[in-house]
Amino acid sequence: MLVQVFTGVVVLLVAYFFFSNKRPANSPPFYGSVIPFFGCFIEFGKSPMGTLRWAYDKYGDCFTLKMLGQNMTYMIGPDAQAVFFKASDEELSPKEAYKFMIPVFGQGVVYDSPTEVMYEQLRFVRSSLTLGQLKKAVPIIAEESKGYFARVWGDEGSVDILDHLNKLTILTASRCLMGNSIRKFLGEDNDRIAYLYHELEKGINPLSFFFPRLPLPGFKRRDEARGEVADLFKRIIQDRRKEGTDSEHEDIMSILMQSEYKDGSRLEDEQLAGLMIALLFAGQHTSSITATWTGTLMHNHKQYLTEVLDELHKSMEANNGQITFDSVKTQTKLENCIRETLRMFPPLIILMRKALVDMVYVNPTTKKEMVIPAGDIMCVSPGAAMRLDNTYKNPDKYDPHRIERGEHNEKQFAYISFGGGRHGCPGENFGMLQIKTIWSILLSTYELDFGPVPPIDYTSLVAGPKAPVMVRYKRKQPAH
């Protein structure tokens, strides 16, 4: 009996593998390894960028990888990426591709809402990130940063800067989102929310994309952390509603609380809490990772650090020694360092959509037409695409001056650190201001000694430097 069952299972797996690989003759080149169902998931998990680069060199700018029963079609390079970024949601659906984020964001929010509702929620978010809010954000971020470093660092020592920037970015972002309300409910336990968001982040890994509800310890901790964060945010919302102070607050939460759908209704507390979780989650981990990479790269390339410091001193002198919105905006050298960092080490190494219809790509060089079948998950990889030597000169070299030269804009969709098309990141300006403000505080306050550039940690879908990233610091003497 056992032999018969085993034989039946083997036959089913072989049949599944054979028939699931039957694709149109003009579909992209296909690689599924020799293991039925699993495909190349294991080798991709070990080295995602290595696997993508191998496939690009072998197959070209459009190819399909089989992983855990799913066909993942990659578009690598500006020409192929144009198909991805120019498509409508009726052709390529982000909702279908990102359902694995529902356990984090919650029900009725973004990817768990009808398309028209999702767009209205995104409209709420964009309307809250106005120039006025950005101007208010810089002094808040500066205040939080100064207080954090004075409280936690002191005058001299050694720290894992990745860990500290993770805590600081969540504090600064939550203050900008909810004002002093977050302090009222967190009390003295400032690190609690950073810990909870770290648990959320650990619960999003390559396996979660395929099986987000598996009864695994990491997923259980993710769900518990999500519940605690949602409860915290709902208490803040209910406290504001009870006091009737919506109009007295001038933060992003206030704007979201007063935002109305087309039918005149407003976000319910559960939806509002979920949208705030999504806002913080989308920005916090990417900002902390990018801030860490930026500091590491600048201090390993001192010629650019010198330019940044000179510019920082001039901008502060022009603003009475203060770090303000105007002083931060004028620091183009620092911004170029950040954007070049994002080119080389984008936190989101893969962006995805599900093909709801057959998609056509014609390679402009070979004139070969390929059809990506409906049902494929179509992907672009910022981590692979922005290291191509036919797109960037010396792509593995850290060179912020390439941003000044406009090299990243020579081809449409060549620079995709913030996505592209209608789904470009709405928090780009806030994230840039946040990182620039934090580094303005750090560089004006401390002498820092970084080690070599660390390897990349691919265990999460958000790829950062492998921890710990140890840094020695010493407070600068006040200028006379």
- Contact between 464 and 169 under an 8 Å Cβ cutoff? The reply is no
pLDDT in tens, 161-211: 999 999 999 889 888 888 888 777 776 666 788 888 888 888 888 888 888
Separation between Cα atoms, residue 398 and residue 384, nearest integer Å: 15
Separation between Cα atoms, residue 75 and residue 379, nearest integer Å: 6
- Contact between 470 and 447 under an 8 Å Cβ cutoff? The reply is no
What does 197-230 look like in DSSP terms, one character per residue?
HHHHHHT-SHHHHH-TT---HHHHHHHHHHHHHH
**Residue-range domains of the chain with CATH:** 2-475 (1.10.630.10)
pLDDT (0 to 100) of residue 468? 96
Mean pLDDT of all residues belonging to the chain: 88
In order of 13, 129, 167, 190, 383, the CA distances from 152 in angstroms are 56, 30, 11, 11, 34
pLDDT (0 to 100) of residue 249? 59
- Contact between 391 and 385 under an 8 Å Cβ cutoff? The reply is yes
Mean pLDDT in residue range 124-153: 90
Assign 5 to helix, strand or coil: helix
Separation between Cα atoms, residue 209 and residue 461, nearest integer Å: 9
* Residue 379: how many other CB atoms lie within 10 Å: 21
In degrees and rounded to multiples of 5, residue 266 shows phi and psi of -120, 170
Q: Does the N-terminal peptide bond of residue 478 adopt cis geometry, omega within 30 degrees of 0?
A: no
Q: What count of Cα atoms within 13 Å lies in the side-chain half-sphere of residue 195?
A: 8
Nearest to 121 by CA among 274, 344, 330, 236: 274
pLDDT at 383 over 50: yes
Q: Are strands 156-160 and 456-457 parallel, antiparallel or unpaired?
A: unpaired
pLDDT (0 to 100) of residue 374? 96
DSSP 248: G
- Contact between 441 and 145 under an 8 Å Cβ cutoff? The reply is yes
In order of 19, 139, 153, 169, 476, the CA distances from 472 in angstroms are 57, 26, 11, 20, 13
Q: Are strands 92-93 and 377-380 parallel, antiparallel or unpaired?
A: unpaired
DSSP 89: T
Q: Range with the lowest mean pLDDT among 46-55, 83-92, 127-136?
A: 127-136
pLDDT at 3 over 60: no
Angle, CA 251 vertex, CA 227 and CA 125 arms, to 5°: 70
pLDDT (0 to 100) of residue 240? 86
Nearest to 75 by CA among 89, 85, 90: 85
In order of 3, 22, 340, 398, the CA distances from 293 in angstroms are 54, 43, 10, 11
Q: Under the phi-then-psi rule, with left for phi > 0, alpha for psi from -120 to 50, and beta for the rest, what region is 168? A: alpha
pLDDT in tens, 416-442: 999 988 778 888 999 999 999 999 999
pLDDT (0 to 100) of residue 10? 39
Angle, CA 203 vertex, CA 202 and CA 208 arms, to 5°: 125
Residue 1: band (very low, low, confident or very high) from pLDDT cuts 50, 70, 90: very low
What percent of the chain is predicted at pLDDT more than 90?
62
Q: What is the pTM of this model?
A: 0.90
DSSP 39: B
pLDDT in tens, 9-50: 333 344 344 444 578 889 999 998 767 788 998 889 889 999
Give the amino acid at 380.
Answer: V
pLDDT (0 to 100) of residue 248? 52
